[in-house]
Amino acid sequence: MKQRVAYRWIIAIVLFVAYSIQYLDRVKSSVLNPAIAHDLGLSTADIGTGAFLMLLFYGPSQYVSGLLTDRFGAKKMLIFSVIAWSVMTMFMGLIQTREEYLWRMAIFGVLVGTEYVPSARVLMRWFNKEGRARAQSLLAWAWILTPAWASVLATQFAAHANSWRIVFFVTGALGVVPLLMIVLLVFDRPEQYRHATEADLEYAYRDEIEAGTLKRGQYAQAQSVILKNGGVRFLDLFKNQTYVAVVFVDIVMQITLYGALTWIPLYLSDAFGFKLQTMGWWSGLYFAAGAIGSFISSYMSDKVFNGNRKIMILVCFIGLAPFVVMLGTLQHASHALLAVALCGMGFFGNMAWGPFLALPAEIFSPEVYGKAMGFVNGAGYFVAAFSAKIFAALVTVDALGHKNYTNGWYFIAFCVVAGIFAASRIRSPNNPESGAIRQATPG
């Protein structure tokens, strides 16, 4: 008899698809920025300000979302998030002025900062440490792989329709797809799924069973039992060196991701003169390579290094730095070198997602993941907001109006070097030297 696919992977795929559709907005906004800027009369500084406002409000929203997720459940937050995303995406197609653009970016950040933490929180409960990095990597494909195809789709659609606005109207209407998927197929906890088997439940709670926090068969009371033994107050999070390191790792990852999302399309357009359709294909190189790097890294973190997350996080930053510098030195260089730089940046720059996003659940417990990860992502996006302004300020314009992005890419390379130091401070909860962590926060 053919073995059925574990339902946890069905949930992971549903969340990936749902998040991918939601992530379309940021991809479209980035690759269509040249057309949007021309239509609305936006400057490079205005684009930087828009990214700044979105991330500035997106960060605190992540933390609030985490608190609400732990309190009311991930599924309710995800339903709200999809509805808010659909409304704000279609609203983008209606804006006519610079002021409306900036207001929309700020409101979008507030309302849509609710999609990641609930999604990750569901995965952290359905998966144990044996598969968490791979589950998180699959979710990370939503923001890694989506730009690889969505950048091409958006630019081709806009070019053939001769309008960037219709792209937002059509994709906003697609929100009904993730909404139905979440309502029908996603459950916060495995014991809430009526078809969950004993194997599903034992797998999900294996870490707690092995730690002695939970007994086999005690699944109906699992949440209350785990919280009773392993609850963590907010300030207690920062007593853990690895958690603090994860905060700084996330800051660097967000700076790198949004540097790529925001500036690669404009860089290709301004420095290499690529047309809208061509630029979409070239932007996709970074994200296609990123999907491969993320998968390889998460598999090795789970299976080869047995849950030691530090190794692949260090590989990410050490491998990424030279390719960011390389991209910064290219000005009208050969297309072959440009392809190498974009693929190298994408491959190494996305390796850390699965490993480091799994760490808060392993340092503490999936039951407080919303609170712990909400602050991590909140801090990451908040600082990344200011990095967008810094990058924009570092772009220089010569007497002929030609823009030079070199200093901006060097700034990101400097941040990546700081990420190497932060990653070196991580102590895996699976290592003997971190046993004190597990004792202080059982479960």
What pLDDT does residue 229 have? 67
Q: How far is the C-alpha of 324 from the C-alpha of 331, rounded, in Å?
A: 13
Q: Are 311 and 301 spatial neighbours (Cβ–Cβ below 8 Å)? A: yes
Q: Are 320 and 345 spatial neighbours (Cβ–Cβ below 8 Å)? A: yes
Q: Which of 432 and 233 is assigned the larger pLDDT?
A: 233
Q: How confident is the model at residue 435 (pLDDT cuts 50, 70, 90)?
A: very low
Q: What is the pLDDT of residues 161-207, one digit of tens each?
A: 888 888 889 888 989 999 999 999 999 999 999 998 888 899 999 88
- Tell me the one-letter amino acid at 116: Y
Radius of gyration of the chain, Cα coordinates, nearest whole angstrom: 21
CATH fold for the domain made of 7-440:
Growth Hormone; Chain: A; (1.20.1250)
For the four alpha carbons of 154, 14, 232 and 72, in that order, the dihedral sign comes to: positive
| Residue 143, both tokens | 């923001």
Q: How far is the C-alpha of 283 from the C-alpha of 386, rounded, in Å?
A: 23
Judged by DSSP in three states, 396 sits in: strand
97-112: average pLDDT = 91
Judged by DSSP in three states, 397 sits in: strand
What percentage of the chain reaches a pLDDT higher than 90? Answer: 40
Q: How far is the C-alpha of 407 from the C-alpha of 420, rounded, in Å?
A: 20
Judged by DSSP in three states, 403 sits in: strand
Q: What is the pLDDT of residues 73-90, one digit of tens each?
A: 899 999 999 999 999 999
| Residue 234, both tokens | 């907010």
What pLDDT does residue 434 have? 38
Query: Among 227-231, 259-263, 408-412, where is mean pLDDT lowest?
Result: 227-231
